[in-house]
Structure 1
């Protein structure tokens, strides 16, 4: 008798999310190969554990994000294993979403809050004219701003049923961006707090939410993913 036939197959939606979780590291590995030159420049400083030259540079933060990716996968595996042991539903989907939100968002926020050369000396600057700064951002800047809260927008509705709506994710992305831009201004980080950053950050979160729509944790799907128990037979009326 084949014992594997007795094991329940994971739900189709969860399998799709697992495949996506496996594809994401491959995509990051490809990006690391393309950017291997700048990343390797930061490797000696980061491996030596020195703050300056690693954690205060874009290349260093990207490198450490890639280096800690296996740890993030391990954390997701441990969380999923504990959930399955406790009999909780959607173990892998929830665990991947939680780890993905953190690991995919914290590095971007870290880079945004990096102080400039005049930090602590140059007062905060504000740009409140919509679409004025898009020209100076350039394609690379626009793509970077779209990715800041993309992980939050992608995995947020997968984890929380309350976020299973594009407008809600849009508001969440805008709110988080406003907090980050406000921190730049208040802390005198020698950066411009721009309304265009808020618009592009929020748009990136909303677009990512659309991409993950099939895995959203809506109220209808909050029930266990596994086989549901058969309904109890109706009582036969006494004759």
Structure 2
């Protein structure tokens, strides 16, 4: 009888618990920091939304920011329900998967919405395109560059945590660039009085990659929960 047969090593539950605590702490810090930064726009948009003027609420930067903040409790509830259902079904990494899914949607859709808001000359002025790399970068300004870096940051941060097929820098770069090209194409086709620029694509993709690198230590978090086999001696 072979006494050196492979035996399963019990999963490292403390490490999984630490991951959950870290993700929750980052989410709380992000919400608190975001509220502090956008407290001015929230105070300005609040009366419009409370009065039911949805054109002013969802059609302005301040209104969209307010909707993002208001939707935070809903996003947390959805993540909890998804995680609860997955844990009940015995799915490994239930919290990680659920937070990643909700984070991708909640952190990306509002920014894309802002990017697709029509300008004052939408439908009137001709569509414009800029295909010379780095020509528009100098005119973006600090706020423009930061905004473009953030558009697909949530997607880059959470996508490789949720989908193993995307857990590599080149694939996240391709994902960010592809999504950005779709947005720029929509701006051009819909004539939204915006310039469809290759620099926007470059900065958007860079933001996705930087965010992905920030979450890289958690890309393979699901592997920790899988039983490992001890080599046969």
When the two structures are superposed, what TM-score results if normalisation uses the length of structure 2?
Answer: 0.88
CA distance 1:73–1:37, shift in 2 (3 Å): same
How far residue 50 of structure 1 moved from its aligned partner, in angstroms, is 2.2
Give the match's secondary structure for 2:92: coil
Tell me, yes or no, if structure 1 residue 128 matches structure 2 residue 131.
Answer: yes
Unaligned runs of 5+ in 1: 1-7, 234-239
Is 1:202 the equivalent of 2:200?
A: no
Partner of 1:179: 182
Q: Does structure 2 retain, via aligned residues, the 8 Å contact 1:155–1:212? A: yes
Specify which structure has the bigger relative contact order, considering alpha-carbon pairs within 8 angstroms and separated by 6 or more residues: 2
Counterpart of 1:165 (choices 164, 168, 174) is 168
Change (3 A) 1:9 1:76: farther
1:76 aligns with 2:73: no
| Distance change >3 Å, CA 222–CA 20, structure 1 → 2 | closer
Distance 2:197 2:21 in 1: 37
Deviates more, 1:22-31 or 1:96-105: 22-31
Distance in 1 between residues matched to 2:229 and 2:207, nearest whole Å: 43
TM-score, normalisation: structure 1: 0.86
Cα distance per residue 1:119-157 (max 9 Å; x no partner)? 111121001111111111111110110000000000000
Q: Alpha-carbon deviations, 1:174-209, whole Å to 9, x = none?
A: 000000000000001010000000000000000111
In structure 2, how many angstroms separate the alpha carbons of the residues matched to 1:212 and 1:17?
A: 13
Measured in 2, the distance between the counterparts of 1:200 and 1:11 equals 38
1:195 to 1:14, Cα distance in 2 relative to 1, 3 A: farther
C-alpha distance in structure 1 between counterparts of 2:68 and 2:85, whole Å: 25
Question: Aligned partners of 1:216 and 1:141: how far apart in 2?
Answer: 29
Q: In structure 2, what is the equivalent of residue 152 of structure 1?
A: 155
Q: Compared with structure 1, are the counterparts of its residues 11 and 180 closer, same or farther at alpha carbon in structure 2 (3 Å cutoff)? A: farther
- Tell me if the contact between 1:54 and 1:60 (Cα under 8 Å) persists in the aligned partners: yes
Aligned length: 222
Contact 2:41–2:65 under 8 Å retained in 1: no
Give the SS at the match of 1:116. Answer: coil
Question: What is the alpha-carbon root mean square deviation over aligned residues?
Answer: 2.2
Residue 99 in structure 1 maps to residue 102 in structure 2: yes
Q: Distance in 1 between matches of 2:212 and 2:228?
A: 32
Partners of 2:193 and 2:85 in 1: how far apart?
Answer: 44
Alignment of 1:1-239 (within 5 A): 10-13=13-16, 15-217=18-220, 222-223=222-223, 225=225, 228=227
